[in-house]
Amino acid sequence: IDSLQATKKDLIRAREQAEHGARLKAEFLANMSHEIRTPLNGVIGMTELLLETELSTDQQRFARTVQDSGTGLLHIINDILDFSKLEAGRFEIERIDFSVTNTVEDQVSLLSRRAADRALTILTFIDPRIPARLVGDPGRIGQVLLNLVGNAIKFSRAGTIMVRVDPQEPMHDPLHLRFSIKDQGIGIAPEVQQRLFTPFTQADGSTARRFGGTGLGLSICKRLVEMMGGTIGIDSKLGDGATFWFTLPCPRATGAAAIQHHTAAWGHLHVLILSPNAEASDIVALYLQSWGAKATCIRTVAELATTLAGSQLPYLLEVWKRWTSVVEQEQVVLLAARQGCR
């Protein structure tokens, strides 16, 4: 018995020493944050200035390679340092007034160029019932969004990425918001989904080789969301895209009210939305319906002609299409004029 107790004490002591050593390493990396980031930001900043000068084609290509490599390295370092701060318990969550709309749009704006380079379109929908001002940590919410939308861009070849924020029922205080990021990428098998939020884990070994990354991003997102009192998850099928989502409790800011829309001014409108892009037209329809208008999505000029011919209602026509033919343009104008559309 004495021998077992001595062994147990030794094991406890060894575990405590190991945990202490791990904390020291995490604290060391956390303390190195400024020292590592500062010179790297200098390299990236000077490269940006260099690209604004007169350079030959080859020099521009070399400078952009330096810039892209530096930015990629900074993202990796940020992940490692943020994870170290979380492990060391040095991450703090703010509770300040913020705008959900501004927070989402700021992150989408940062990623819009990268998305365009991959022939991707980012669409956003912020439910108009959400108050203009809430209480939370916009910096950490933005960090989670930046990571999830960035992943959607990374793993999508083409198509649309949908970023939505919806209030969950019942809409009591604090308001529970559901942020969702839906892509049309490669999808994730069910057996892989559970381990995605584990540190240093990716879908498989080839993912790191093809797309890069540390495997820390989703783990950091999970920690941050849980620190803010929320949950995070994924809905996906292999080959059919993925929807990453997280929910957060966000109290209304003092004096904040839901965004007011004069539905009486919209209630008499019936809007036809002509666009081959289903996601884009659906977003426009959602906003119009939330304001009291009736909205119908039309995909083709032929469908528009059929709809107008079968109704005597006055329509407001909204055209969301990059025309490939002058004939199509003329057809839409003639149809609209004939049926009295505005």
Do 287 and 220 share a domain, yes or no?
Answer: no
Last residue of some domain: 218, 250, 282?
250
Q: What is the domain extent for residue 39?
A: 2-87
Last residue of some domain: 34, 69, 87?
87
**Domain membership flag for residue 270:** yes
**Domain membership flag for residue 47:** yes
Residues 151-163 pLDDT 10s = 899 888 878 899 9
The C-alpha atoms of residue 324 and residue 127 are separated, in whole angstroms, by 33
Give me the CATH number covering residue 63: 1.10.287.130
Do 103 and 238 share a domain, yes or no?
Answer: yes
High-pLDDT (> 90) share of the chain, %? 30
Do 175 and 305 share a domain, yes or no?
Answer: no
Do 143 and 222 share a domain, yes or no?
Answer: yes
**Domain membership flag for residue 258:** no
| Structural domains counted in the chain | 3
**Domain membership flag for residue 45:** yes
193 and 234 Cβ atoms separated by less than 8 Å: yes
Give me the CATH number covering residue 115: 3.30.565.10
- Given a cut of 70, whether residue 341 has pLDDT beyond it is no
Number of DSSP helices (H) and strands (E) in the chain, helices first: 12, 10
Do 171 and 212 share a domain, yes or no?
Answer: yes
Do 81 and 13 share a domain, yes or no?
Answer: yes
**Confidence tier at 208 by pLDDT (50, 70, 90):** very low
Last residue of some domain: 250, 280, 312?
250
Do 169 and 75 share a domain, yes or no?
Answer: no
Give me the CATH number covering residue 276: 3.40.50
Do 121 and 193 share a domain, yes or no?
Answer: yes
3-class secondary structure per residue, 4-64: HHHHHHHHHHHHHHHHHHHHHHHHHHHHCHHHHHHHHHHHHHHHHHHHCCCCCHHHHHHHH
231 and 245 Cβ atoms separated by less than 8 Å: no
Do 105 and 123 share a domain, yes or no?
Answer: yes
259 and 167 Cβ atoms separated by less than 8 Å: no
Residues 246-273 pLDDT 10s = 999 999 988 765 555 555 566 677 788 8
The C-alpha atoms of residue 310 and residue 308 are separated, in whole angstroms, by 5
214 and 200 Cβ atoms separated by less than 8 Å: yes
Do 53 and 178 share a domain, yes or no?
Answer: no
**Domain membership flag for residue 116:** yes
**Domain membership flag for residue 62:** yes
Residues 98-126 pLDDT 10s = 999 999 999 998 888 889 888 898 999 99
Q: Is the pTM of this model over 0.85?
A: no
- Given a cut of 90, whether residue 232 has pLDDT beyond it is yes
134 and 253 Cβ atoms separated by less than 8 Å: yes
Do 147 and 55 share a domain, yes or no?
Answer: no
30 and 90 Cβ atoms separated by less than 8 Å: yes
- Given a cut of 80, whether residue 194 has pLDDT beyond it is no
* pLDDT, the chain, mean: 80
**Domain membership flag for residue 22:** yes
Do 120 and 231 share a domain, yes or no?
Answer: yes
**Domain membership flag for residue 255:** no
3-class secondary structure per residue, 200-223: CCCCCHHHHHHHCCCCCHHHHHHH
The C-alpha atoms of residue 124 and residue 107 are separated, in whole angstroms, by 11
